[in-house]
């Protein structure tokens, strides 16, 4: 059997690394976390869009290590909040906020908003960069509603408060294989794989 192709994932988030590696499995690729490269500079996500942040991460890491790299930027867009938290999803309640602090802030802000107006989507943009080649960009999204209370223990981020009407479950109630069928990240990966092929 041929050796698995290595792709550096421009993240130290182990939840994301696990998800990507499940999605990569069929390709015979292996995603390596930035945690394995101590000397790599921290990439500041200071851009205004998911695409710009994903590209910045992928290009910086690929250039520095001279390896294929994939950057992703993803987050939650809530219609009643004019698309917030958006690119600030990971630090919505502050620079070092925990996942729970972030979604608790969100629930507080939406307290008086009726259920039918709590529409939201998870959005993910992937940037795949191979040294010497043009970047490949792919996006995916998953529509849902922000629930009034958290449920489920799987996943990370805003998964415990993101309700998916079509399956009547929270994102955090899905098993990994279920999540990989319909998450924003899975859909972005599916588009990326189509482009790579």
Catalytic residue at 73? Answer: yes
> Residue 78: helix, strand or coil by DSSP?
strand
What b/e sequence results for 62-97 when a residue is b if at least 16 CB atoms lie within 10 Å of its CB, and e otherwise? beebebbbbbbbbbbbbebbeebbbbebbebbeeee
Residue whose structure tokens are 């994939």: 70
SS3 73: strand
Torsion from C-alpha of 126, 130, 135, 137, nearest 10 degrees: -20
The catalytic position among 46, 73, 82, 99 is 73
Q: Which residues contact 123 (CB under 8 A, 6 or more apart)?
A: 50, 74, 75, 76, 77, 139, 140, 141, 184
| Closest C-alpha among 90, 127, 67 to residue 15 | 90
Residues involved in catalysis: 73
């Amino acid at each position: 059997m041929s050796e698995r192709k290595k792709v550096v994932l421009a993240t130290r988030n182990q939840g994301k690394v696990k998800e990507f590696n499940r999605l990569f499995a069929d390709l015979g690729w292996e995603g390596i976390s930035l945690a394995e490269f101590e000397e790599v500079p921290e990439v500041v996500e200071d851009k205004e869009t998911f695409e710009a942040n994903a590209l910045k991460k992928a290009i910086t890491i690929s250039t520095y290590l001279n390896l294929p790299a994939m950057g992703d930027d993803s987050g939650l867009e809530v219609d009643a909040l004019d698309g917030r938290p958006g690119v600030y999803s990971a630090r919505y309640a502050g620079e070092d906020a925990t996942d729970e602090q972030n979604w608790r802030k969100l629930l507080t802000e939406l307290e008086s908003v009726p259920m039918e107006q709590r529409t939201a989507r998870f959005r993910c943009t992937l940037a795949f960069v191979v040294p010497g080649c043009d970047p490949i960009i792919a996006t995916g999204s998953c529509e849902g509603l922000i629930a009034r209370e958290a449920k489920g223990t799987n996943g990370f981020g805003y998964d415990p408060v993101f309700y998916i009407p079509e399956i009547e479950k929270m994102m955090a109630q899905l098993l990994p294989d279920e999540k990989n069928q319909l998450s924003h990240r899975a859909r972005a990966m599916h588009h990326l794989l189509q482009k790579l092929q």
